[in-house]
Amino acid sequence: MLSRLVKVGFEAVVLAFAFYAFAFVPLGQHTALEHIRRIVATPPAQEAGQEAKAAFQRLVKRVSDGGLNAPERNATKPLTSAGTAILPPLAPGAPGPADAATVAVTPAEGELAPGNGSTATP
């Protein structure tokens, strides 16, 4: 219990030192805090902030209107692509889906043979 308290206290001191350095130690002519404030005040940063705010507002509206997984569609029209797998084309000479049913699969010697603890039937 005491070691955890010492660890948390040490982490708090390190964090306070980092905040002090961020706000008061100059990096060139300005502190890191002053650099950040100057960057945020530029027109491109202001524009990016407005775009981020608008995107966040759209996200909040979408979540409050029915969740992120709610499809944006007419409820009476079914989704035709729901659950449809998109597969890459087969390699030349590979068995297709119709051929897969006719391919014989035989177990290797000692696998799934009757009498060795398997559930296969003769």
Every domain of the chain and the residues it spans? 2-64
- Other Cβ atoms less than 10 A from the Cβ of 33: the count is 15
At residue 84 the predicted structure's pLDDT band, cuts being 50, 70 and 90, is low
Rounded percentage of the chain residues whose pLDDT exceeds 90: 45
Alpha-carbon distances of 77 from 63, 66, 68, rounded to whole Å: 22, 18, 19
Of 20-34, 51-65, 83-97, the least confident: 83-97
| Residues whose CB falls within 8 Å of the CB of residue 122, separated by 6 or more in sequence, listed in order | 114
Alpha-carbon distances of 20 from 13, 37, 122, rounded to whole Å: 10, 16, 79
Helix axes 32-40, 2-24, angle to 10 degrees: 60
| Residues whose CB falls within 8 Å of the CB of residue 51, separated by 6 or more in sequence, listed in order | none
Whole-structure pTM over 0.75, yes or no? no
Please tell me the predicted confidence (pLDDT) of residue 63: 85
Q: Tokens in use for 63?
A: 């979540």
Please tell me the predicted confidence (pLDDT) of residue 65: 80
**Rounded average pLDDT over 80-84:** 61
Q: Tokens in use for 2?
A: 């005491």
**Rounded average pLDDT over 25-33:** 94
Rounded percentage of the chain residues whose pLDDT exceeds 70: 60
Which of 102 and 86 is assigned the larger pLDDT? 86
Alpha-carbon distances of 73 from 23, 49, 55, 67, rounded to whole Å: 51, 30, 21, 14
